[in-house]
A = this chain, B = another copy of it.
């Protein structure tokens, strides 16, 4: 599996974990982040190469630092 897919899988997994820690459904997170519900599902399943602005929306809606969702990137460098 390419490191690129690995990154999307890791990012999606962290979003899912943070969402569950907050007790939010995908629908609730999507609404808080002004994104579509299916988009959140696709991000969690690593089906989308997420953009910077949507990452910021999701981090803000989860009330976590963007860096917390991306730590794996630099640890794997």
Contacts and interface: CB of A to CB of B under 8 A. Distances in A.
A74 B49 CA distance: 21
State which size class the interface on A falls in.
Answer: 20 to 34
Given A52-B55, A65-B74, 6 more contacts: A7-B52, A59-B73, A60-B77, A66-B70, A67-B74, A70-B70
Query: How many chain copies?
Result: 2
A1 interface: no
Interface of A: 3-4, 7-8, 11, 49-53, 55-56, 59-60, 65-67, 70-71, 73-74, 77
Nearest to A11: B52
A5 to B, nearest CB: 9
Nearest to A65: B74
